[in-house]
Structure 1
């Protein structure tokens, strides 16, 4: 695996550090008045979700890990396990539903997701950035309510609550950003 300097760490990089696999969540470069510059890096463990703040000087070497990414199709959920199928080899894999965390409601039947592997171990599931959902409950449209940034709450068909603009009504399809859980546009 390639080694990189501590000041070359960027958000999204996967590193092998202290015997575990960590993803860099945030990085900030600090130049104190006294002493050498360093990178303050917030790391998240890919296996158990622990967080760690670490300082890396430019002379420090860390191993950067490359994860294999495969597009796989979601088939079904059974007993808290999600079953995915590789579209090329038709191999099936079962992963725990808690791997998705609070993004789980946005996973739909037949959806293609990206699963990141370290060797044979699946570490992360990435949903498409935008997903189409139907609004099942929201307040009715009020005529004349055209304030620039007024939003109203809406309940989606997957049980998630989002804020939508006043012109969006019940039983409409909208596109939701799965990273920020925010309304993106009408479908």
Structure 2
């Protein structure tokens, strides 16, 4: 399957320079002059070497089809994350690096999809949205609610996001795991 350069996401496996690479970090860059591009940190699946590559939106790369199986996140063990296959109950370890900064969204018992290539686990797909509690926010300034301004808040997992002014500590909110954006207040 062909992907445009700006559609590459962390965890995507692509065919590049005649080998398999997994995108570890992706940073969208919009320079003042010239077209936008994605700065992608790639890790070679065969030998572990790393490569920083720029992909313009007009470039295409081949995304590799992976086997996908449902797993449950169990716990964190050092630099490893432990998952259990929901069918066979086998446990597998995956490096935190494969999940990247989204590791903070993993919760005990969370259902995820583990992607593997030729039997080797190489990526984890998290749910698109998770519900978390706000632990800390700045107080609302009088009159601030009249405009569509946002204020910083800290989630229970330590991540900082921007939320509407009416959100207070101990409020549960839904957060997008891809963009790290506030979606809505949880019921």
Pick the TM interval, shorter chain.
0.7 to 0.9
Matches within 5 A, 1:53-132: 53=54, 65-132=64-131
Matches within 5 A, 1:29-44: none
Q: Which runs of 5+ in 1 are unaligned?
A: 26-39, 56-61
CA distance in 2, matches of 1:67, 1:92: 19
Q: Larger Cα Rg: Structure 1 or Structure 2?
A: 1
Q: 1:15 to 1:80 in 2, by over 3 A?
A: closer
Give the drift of 1:121: 1.2
Matches within 5 A, 1:124-163: 124-163=123-162
TM score, norm. by length of structure 2: 0.73
Aligned to 1:32: none
Q: 1:113 to 1:146 in 2, by over 3 A?
A: same
TM score, norm. by length of structure 1: 0.73
Give the drift of 1:153: 0.6
Aligned to 2:175: 176
Give the drift of 1:54: 7.0
Aligned to 1:30: none
CA distance in 2, matches of 1:170, 1:85: 33
Contact 1:140 1:170 in 2 (8 A): no
Q: 1:82 to 1:14 in 2, by over 3 A?
A: closer
CA distance in 2, matches of 1:164, 1:95: 32
Aligned to 1:36: none
Contact 1:115 1:122 in 2 (8 A): yes
* Partner SS state of residue 149, structure 1: coil
Q: Which runs of 5+ in 2 are unaligned?
A: 27-36
After superposition, give the CA deviation of every residue in 1:18-72 in whole Å (9 maximum; x if it has no partner): 33214698xxxxxxxxxxxxxx9987645356343579xxxxxx97632111111
Give the drift of 1:73: 0.3
Aligned to 1:167: 166
Q: 1:42 to 1:14 in 2, by over 3 A?
A: farther
